[in-house]
Structure 1
Amino acid sequence: MLTVGELLRQWRQRRGISQLDLAIAADVSARHVSLVETGKSRPSADMILRLAEQLHVPLRDRNRLLLAAGFAPRYPERPLGDTALSAARDAVRRVLRAHEPYPALVFDRRWNIVMTNRAVRPFFARVDPELLRPPVNLVRLGLDPRGFAPMVANLADVRAVFRNRIGRQLAAAPDPELTALYEELLAPEPGDGPRIETDVVIPMILRVDGRELRLFSTITTFGTPMDITLDEVAIESYYPADEESAAYFTKP
């Protein structure tokens, strides 16, 4: 088992910053950062969290840092349906409803769908029920031949967008299950096109009912969450990219 100092050094190196830069950001001495990383100084829980904040360590991994140093975890992890998260859950539901008649859904750190609005349901009716057994994974749903893949006209572009987004996610915070999903569905293959450097303007083109729907999406996350579940969920909202696509969703 790695020490808290070794874990902090891993996170610092993953972020590509020096001990001096971390020390300046956290308002401590570079010598203290060095002593913590080498195990010659035992940091307090507050110091661990201060360094973790500057390193943008996810809450789940901040708990691991605390445990490695002999402290109790600081951040709870409760299901989104937990009473303690009722205000956040209601806020998410309001966001989903407000986005109708356009599709929107909520997914967790492994891209498992947690909630959807009503506009998503007609699309789910078009896929193999086997893919809708919990947990329903958004990446698998989008790329599997039994899912949305046959409907996606620009499947290579969509796969590249998924690859970039999850690749960045793994670079920021490694996860074995997400890595396995990436290797199964997203690992580059011979003949793949050039890497897409931005997915901001890449639409998803769906062939539905004899027409093409062009959609782009935005991601919404909670600001300064204090619960692991809220730290790891995101709302993806889809918007029509042209008037024809908008008309499909707003038709009587």
Structure 2
Amino acid sequence: MTTARRPVGELLREWRDRRRISQLDLALAAEVSTRHLSFVETGRARPSREMVLRLGEHLDVPLRERNQLLLAAGYAPVYSQSPFGDPELSTVREAVRRLLRRHEPFPAAVVDRGWNLVDANDCIALLTDGVAPELLAPPVNVLRATLHPDGMAPRIVNLGEWRAHLLGRLRREVAATADPALAALLAELRDYPCASPAPEVEIPGPGDLLVPLRLRHGQGELSFFSTVATFGTPLDVTLAELSIESFYPADDPTAAVLRALTERTGPPS
């Protein structure tokens, strides 16, 4: 049994509504007439492949969904989707692993759009220490391993604050991608118990610069902030959906503990 594909005009109108862009504004940005765009959305006109790609670009549609727009319009996808281990990605893969290694003794990880762990440096074990083995069985979902009661959650000192930060990021990604799997993950994570439930809006305190991840550790509390890096000009779905999160010490005591641990035992395995 095959499922009927939704018309491309319907999909484009849905993306336009999601981005809150008027038909006139999109027509002006894409340099097409409002009349033609209206005909495309109602199915009275079939857009060219170039038109589909142009509209997808101006609507900031993710590459995965641009391929779906092309299929709905009767065209073949143009954006490849290569497994991260594919030989064609060897140069990119080595560059990513070089970044991960050079970030030691601080933790860093690579995740895909679904927040599944793709790669990490050895120091990520500082964060995953004590996480239940079943949560670390591949494929490892980083958000689930972080917020699950059997995951990192019991070690996170500011669980309510960090939970609010992660759920906010995920909520924005659901809005940007309309991915039902991400929406399901968000619903699951919201149901996890938390002594201090995540507020809808985080209000920074006086002097706050970043939301830290504060972890209980045998050497004392560790505090981290993170940066997120993505590829600037991806033309492959896999690369477009990868992000590298690198953690840095948020205070001098944390930096001292991490360097001491590395000097004494080497990077954790």
Sort the TM-score into its range (normalised by shorter chain): over 0.9
Q: 2: distance between equivalents of 1:148 and 1:104?
A: 16
State the AA in 2 paired with 1:195. V
Q: 2: distance between equivalents of 1:91 and 1:39?
A: 45
Q: Is the counterpart of residue 27 in structure 1 residue 36 in structure 2?
A: no
Kept in 2: contact 1:162–1:186 (CA 8 A): no
State the AA in 1 paired with 2:66. R
Q: 1: distance between equivalents of 2:110 and 2:123?
A: 13
| Greater shift in the superposed pair: 230-239 or 180-189 | 180-189
Partner of 2:53: 49
Kept in 1: contact 2:160–2:197 (CA 8 A): no
Where does the alignment leave 5 or more consecutive residues of structure 1 unmatched?
none
TM-score under structure 2 normalisation?
Answer: 0.89
Q: 2: distance between equivalents of 1:181 and 1:125?
A: 23
Partner of 1:196: 202
State the AA in 1 paired with 2:201. R
Once the 2 structures are TM-superposed, how far is the Cα of residue 123 of structure 1 from its aligned partner? Answer: 3.4
Of 221, 225, 234, the residue aligned with 2:243 is: 234
Once the 2 structures are TM-superposed, how far is the Cα of residue 188 of structure 1 from its aligned partner? Answer: 9.5
| Greater shift in the superposed pair: 16-25 or 27-36 | 27-36
When the two structures are aligned, how many residues end up with a matched partner? 252
Q: 1: distance between equivalents of 2:108 and 2:198?
A: 29
Q: Is the counterpart of residue 11 in structure 1 residue 20 in structure 2?
A: no
Change (3 A) 1:49 1:197: farther
Of 220, 232, 247, the residue aligned with 1:211 is: 220
Kept in 2: contact 1:153–1:206 (CA 8 A): yes
1:158-205 deviation per Cα after TM superposition (whole angstroms, max 9, x unaligned): 110111000000011112221111111126999643522789711010
Once the 2 structures are TM-superposed, how far is the Cα of residue 86 of structure 1 from its aligned partner? Answer: 1.0
Q: Is the counterpart of residue 173 in structure 1 residue 173 in structure 2?
A: no
Q: 2: distance between equivalents of 1:242 and 1:191?
A: 26
Of 33, 37, 42, the residue aligned with 2:41 is: 37
Q: Is the counterpart of residue 94 in structure 1 residue 98 in structure 2?
A: yes
**SS state at 1:11 partner:** helix
**SS state at 1:244 partner:** helix
Q: Is the counterpart of residue 76 in structure 1 residue 76 in structure 2?
A: no
Once the 2 structures are TM-superposed, how far is the Cα of residue 124 of structure 1 from its aligned partner? Answer: 3.0
**SS state at 1:211 partner:** coil
Q: Is the counterpart of residue 185 in structure 1 residue 223 in structure 2?
A: no
**Alignment root-mean-square deviation, CA:** 1.9
Partner of 2:266: none
Kept in 1: contact 2:70–2:77 (CA 8 A): yes
**SS state at 2:216 partner:** strand
TM-score under structure 1 normalisation?
Answer: 0.94
Change (3 A) 1:153 1:125: closer
State the AA in 2 paired with 1:99. H
